[in-house]
Amino acid sequence: MRSAGVLLPVASLPSNWGIGTMGEEARSFIRFLQASGQSYWQILPICQTGFGDSPYQSVSSFAGNPYWIDLDDLAKDGLLKEEDFSHIDWGRNPRSIDYDKLYINRFKVLKKAVKCLKQNEPDDYHTFLSAEYDWLEDYALYMAIKEYEGGKPWTQWPKGYRLKEEKALNDIRNRLEEDISFWKGVQYLFYHQWRRMRTYAAERGIQIIGDTPFYVAADSADVWSQPEQFYLNKELEPIEVAGCPPDGFSEDGQLWGNPLYDWDRMKNDGYQWWIRRMAKQIQIYDVIRLDHFRGFDSYYAIPADDNTARNGHWCQGPGISLFRILEKKLGRMNIIAEDLGFLTPSVQKLVQECGYPGMKVLEFAFDERDTGSGYLPHEYPRHCVVYTGTHDNDTVNGWMHTASASDVQRAVDYFHLNKEEGYSWGMMRGAWSSVADLSIMQAQDILELGSESRINIPSTLGNNWVWRSKKGAFTEELAEKLHYMMSLYGRLPAMKE
């Protein structure tokens, strides 16, 4: 069935307290989606961010982002008083996230909320602790030790903590009991609000598309707690790391630096780590976007000591065997395969074998260096998801100014773009009118914004993941305009009887 949605990170919602959250502004956006005839809200990973503030470099694959916990809702629930947070400087620019101020101030406020929570524990608190035990214990201990060690990565901790020696961990558990309890309480608050927001969305016919990063961060509870699942040496240091080879866009390639998986080890234990991870993802999201899908077929390995990605080599991934086991254990999952970039026949075969819809990005369709990619709408199969751009792309209006003149002209000719309609609306019209079953538009394109609202520029540090939408930007008039386009191109949700 034809349908549509909007891509907007939760962090990019407006708020008075420094960052978008799961509170009233999220509920307001859900109502906007419903009124505009959308069926999906696509977000970025919910993971707690670490160094660089990227949700794709998280301290845990399982933990939710504490910054998203809504302070006003905590006050309504009796866990905070407004004066606990209203006087704090959360940043001077309401259109940008100041992560330094969040890091300094947010956890101080959350400690007050968790203290109140612990004084009058809700009925489901210990049920949550028990249900999430398999990851929550490691996460809470990791975060407590990390704070105790001044924020240093776990590879720089004292040997006893680094190697998880039993006596050292027992001693630090006793010493940091209150801190460990705090991090557990934070995750209870996050998932309590997450379930409430997701229920609110479901009641209004909105499904949430989440994002599962392919790799995990080196400095994470995942690698610290289960180093045997990763390709590390005896000192628990990466032997090779992840990235992308040089191409027409980057002569040095991309050096991501994530540790690689020990796929042979994972296969021998029946991919238990992936089963646990994906079981959590289907518990959280309605639909999962699997990032860097080609890595399941083959992945690029770079010597850990290299400064560029030039000397890497391709290695064989787990292929279809992983997905057969996942489906056997977890059932058929609702997955979108992020199959962007250069795809070999074996990657294309894996996507087909899995039966997942792939992604089509219109901003890639007109690049003269990349012909035959299948990104032009007249080449689409129905079973795909079309985007004007993703969080890693510029907005349409930004792309019109930064892409080559020849690429822009091809897009203008193909879609009959003009200033009167608006370039972003013309490009979105091309996506909505395509045969793709699902179309997802960046919120910035709906708002007709430029490069200043871009979410991320890959392989760069600084000024990424910071954009926030303006309060009141998603108006009734805009919802009506979107609803008309959904009706015109047959993408309205099915009427419930």
Which positions are catalytic? 291, 338, 392
User: 130: exposed, middle or buried (C-beta count within 10 Å: 0-12, 13-18, 19+)?
Assistant: exposed
How far, rounded to the nearest angstrom, does the alpha carbon of residue 151 sit from its chain's CA centroid?
A: 23
- Residue 173 CB: number of other CB atoms within 10 A? 15
Instruction: Please give the Cα distance from 256 to 249 (Å, whole number).
Output: 16
Q: Which two tokens stand for residue 68?
A: 């998203």
Angle between helices 345-354 and 320-330 (to 10 degrees): 10
- Burial of 319 per CB tally in 10 Å (0-12, 13-18, 19+): middle
Give the C-alpha separation, 20 to 26, whole Å: 8
| Residues 435, 216: Cα–Cα separation, whole Å | 35
Residue type, 2: R
> Do β-strands 384-387 and 438-442 pair in parallel, antiparallel, or remain unpaired?
parallel
What span, in angstroms and rounded, lies between the C-alpha atoms of 376 and 357?
16
Local structure of 193: helix, strand or coil:
helix
Q: Which two tokens stand for residue 157?
A: 């901790």
∠ CA 12-62-110, nearest 5°, is: 60
State the burial class of residue 27 (Cβ atoms within 10 Å of its Cβ: 0-12, 13-18, 19+). Answer: middle
Q: What are the backbone dihedrals phi and psi of residue 284, each rounded to the nearest 5 degrees, phi first?
A: -85, -50
Angle between helices 133-148 and 272-284 (to 10 degrees): 90
Pairwise CA distance, residues 148 & 183, whole Å: 13
Distances (CA, A) of 214 to 38, 58, 315: 28, 12, 15
| Phi-psi group of 20: left, alpha or beta (phi > 0 → left; psi -120 to 50 → alpha; rest → beta) | beta
Is residue 277 a contact partner of residue 341, using CB atoms and an 8 Å limit? no
CA distance 431 to 414: 12
Q: What is the rounded (10 degree) CA torsion for 183, 185, 187, 193? A: -150
In whole angstroms, what is the distance from residue 24 CA to residue 73 CA?
8
Burial class (CB within 10 angstroms; exposed 0-12, middle 13-18, buried 19+) of 279? middle
